[in-house]
Structure 1
């Protein structure tokens, strides 16, 4: 039975609804997903489908968390509280051990620290606690000489940058985000989900055998590779990435690399607020700040993923990595289960997508391409 598509689109964005409906019609009967977009701060797409799904349902968004975390860093750089070319040790002296003393904040944000994990891995409780992760990493010898190469710091980049935020401001990254971003804009994008909001959370589901394969799982001969270390597969209790948001301790503490809970409205709203007037408020980022953080800083072979990747500062280079038709300087971040979110300052397009069942092979779900193309065409035509 074909699922009903809920929600609305603005005039000119009907093709986005058509693409969403066409995709949903090919999916399992239990598909759940949400799609939202803004153009210059005006909501133009607001769609959802699936049994039990509402416009305000909340999902684990995995690494899309990093976008919220590094929006905070961008704001603090814009304020002058942080300086990109300061050494990390200026803020965090203990970080200097094991040859890490020359690394700058700019290099850290570009995934160039060589500090993707620890020799023995983390417990679940440690992964939930950014301060615990940062304390362990301060003493860790890097896995390549800092600054000479790059690799995806999948589970730890938010803890590293979060410790710098804490040292510079005296407050956690999560607290700064709540005060300056989430609460003022009323965003359904939480770094630390309050217990009162738990009924809105929809637990992540694993792929079924019909989906073709399973998400990455540890293999005995790869646990101690860079990828194995970066995804905590070598720990005494290896991390099952696909189910990480289903742990209440992760949702409650909101670790800044992977722990956010959000709706598509929240994802798109975050990026709309970043670059556009939103809810009668000025954009969070000045154009020069957005351009600095969206500029390519690490491009080429990613030592962790083993693939060609491109990163700005804390954000993925979304146009280079996923959607080359987007404007240069697009800032955003995808999440392992399939979520995607970004802002394209050149068109004013802000986009957010969530889904409940983990999408293979991981990262931005393939269906995002057709949705983003349709939204981008409509934004250009508007």
Structure 2
């Protein structure tokens, strides 16, 4: 694999790990970017733009088009980390009270025993609404109306605030509708106008038609057999895959809130504003976004005030996850470092995307990381490709 791009002195282990993903871990096409103290120190890409093309990026037809620095991809749940910044920034501006009932901003939401369900419960996956009583069709999922209406009428699966379970799909309609009620703007528009535009990010929640040609096709791939790394990956008695295979489980129902599963390569799906799962970004955009949460970048002032940064990464939920089965840790909108989501260090916060993508920041080291791939590995909570890169960043920082 001819890896393209550059690394700063000392970050050569990241290049080695990135090349190793193609050689040993089934990588099709990918990019990784790392910022340190607001400066880009890793910018690598390689392989094919489309997952159904050859992994060597050879030219010749559309499927074999090589990855370039401008290639963007669907990043699935890594979108959640971008979306979570919106209510936190609204709180920072005095427009949202995290301890107010959601019904304060969205009156219809008070129905079915949700009168005391708080905004912070949505962000920390404690709302008890990870599943829909009746799944939405793909068309309903993207119409902007059906999802919020269903959740407003539905009773929680557990008493809000008493437990946590990953809101894999319903996070889209819960967060999106809250932002719309508070600001009068869709969450995709808010991100475009208040975050992506000012920071110059190639990142969208709702892909514009003009950007469609930059986005490669994704495909599911089987993860290669690889021994678990001590201290990084743990297999519980019942794995996520086991739970997902049970049609009646919260796991299967949470990930099946859209039924049949939407085609993530469909232009209509990519144009939809689904902040739980359908964001599209370059690796640089994800890394630069997280860099902007913790510090100034290229003259642009940091997004999060110190108090907001503390909120993002202070533990709100921890322990057995009712949906993901494994033990997970969440702050307000962000996954925190732990066995289910190994990041750089205990103070790191961010979000993986199911199947591969990962983005996070580590304030103590001033590091921000973004990894995007088009080869999606199913039901892996700590993707071995992303983890190899994270370990390499740690090695580089350690000198």
Shift of 1:259: 0.8
Judged with a 3 Å threshold, the aligned counterparts in structure 2 of structure 1 residues 211 and 197 are, in CA distance, closer, same or farther, namely farther
User: Are the aligned partners of 1:347 and 1:380 in contact in 2 as well (CA < 8 Å)?
Assistant: no
Shift of 1:216: 6.2
Judged with a 3 Å threshold, the aligned counterparts in structure 2 of structure 1 residues 335 and 375 are, in CA distance, closer, same or farther, namely same
Judged with a 3 Å threshold, the aligned counterparts in structure 2 of structure 1 residues 130 and 268 are, in CA distance, closer, same or farther, namely farther
User: Are the aligned partners of 1:319 and 1:325 in contact in 2 as well (CA < 8 Å)?
Assistant: no
Shift of 1:130: 4.3
Q: Does 1:246 align with 2:265?
A: yes
- 1:206-257 Cα offsets, whole Å, 9 max, x none, are 2159779xx96998x8323211221126x6x4326xxx42122221023111
Matching of residues 120-139 of structure 1 within 5 Å: 120-139=134-153
**Residue 263 (structure 1) aligns with:** 282
2:379 corresponds to which of 357, 361, 367: 361
**Residue 227 (structure 1) aligns with:** 251
Judged with a 3 Å threshold, the aligned counterparts in structure 2 of structure 1 residues 347 and 130 are, in CA distance, closer, same or farther, namely farther
Judged with a 3 Å threshold, the aligned counterparts in structure 2 of structure 1 residues 274 and 49 are, in CA distance, closer, same or farther, namely same
**Residue 43 (structure 1) aligns with:** 40
Shift of 1:107: 1.6
TM-score (norm 2): 0.87
1:295 corresponds to which of 300, 308, 314: 314
Judged with a 3 Å threshold, the aligned counterparts in structure 2 of structure 1 residues 291 and 342 are, in CA distance, closer, same or farther, namely same
**Residue 202 (structure 1) aligns with:** 216
Q: Distance in 2 between matches of 1:36 and 1:24?
A: 17
Judged with a 3 Å threshold, the aligned counterparts in structure 2 of structure 1 residues 59 and 120 are, in CA distance, closer, same or farther, namely same
Q: Which stretches of structure 1, 4 residues or more, deviate above 6 A after TM superposition?
A: 209-212, 215-219
Bigger helix share? 1
Q: Distance in 1 between matches of 2:5 and 2:303?
A: 27
Q: Distance in 1 between matches of 2:345 and 2:224?
A: 33
- Of stretches 315-324 and 34-43 in structure 1, the one that deviates more from structure 2 is 315-324
**Residue 184 (structure 2) aligns with:** 170
RMSD: 2.3
Q: Distance in 2 between matches of 1:191 and 1:106?
A: 22
Task: Show structure 2 runs of 5+ residues with no match.
Answer: 48-56, 58-65, 227-239
Q: Distance in 2 between matches of 1:165 and 1:209?
A: 37
Judged with a 3 Å threshold, the aligned counterparts in structure 2 of structure 1 residues 337 and 238 are, in CA distance, closer, same or farther, namely same
TM-score (norm 1): 0.90
What SS is found at the alignment partner of 2:42? strand
Shift of 1:297: 0.4
**Residue 20 (structure 2) aligns with:** 22
**Residue 307 (structure 1) aligns with:** 326
Q: Distance in 2 between matches of 1:45 and 1:195?
A: 30
- The size of the alignment, in residue pairs, is 369
- 1:121-157 Cα offsets, whole Å, 9 max, x none, are 0110222244431111000111112111110000011
